[in-house]
Amino acid sequence: MSKVFIAFQDNEESRPVVEAILADNPQATAVHSPGLVKLDAPGRMVIRRATIEDIVGRPFDLQQIQVNLVTLSGNVDEDDDELSLSWLG
């Protein structure tokens, strides 16, 4: 099975997003490099707005993740509540 991944700048703004991804995707792993954090998961990964809001304690616009997004791999499906990466087939 192919892995999907997403990478963010490693900073205060992206840390709650990374925490939410790891909470919602138990199969995901995070690899930290200087200034970067890359998250991998087999087949599918989901980023949920509600989980991020629970962590930060305020409303969160999922589009905000784009500010610190470095790269991603997988088919993207997104709406106001979640963004998912997956490999079809």
Give residue-wise pLDDT tens across range 69-86: 999 999 999 999 999 999
> Please, what are the domains in the chain?
3-86 (3.90.56.10)
pLDDT band at residue 87 under the 50/70/90 scheme: confident
pLDDT above 80 for 1: no
Give residue-wise pLDDT tens across range 29-59: 999 999 999 999 999 999 999 999 999 999 9
Mean pLDDT of 17-37: 97
Query: DSSP labels for the chain?
Result: -PEEEEEEE-STTTHHHHHHHHHH-TT-EEEEETTEEEEEEESEEEEEHHHHHHHHTS---GGGGGGTEEEEESEEEE-SSEEEEE---
Q: How high is the pLDDT of residue 89?
A: 54
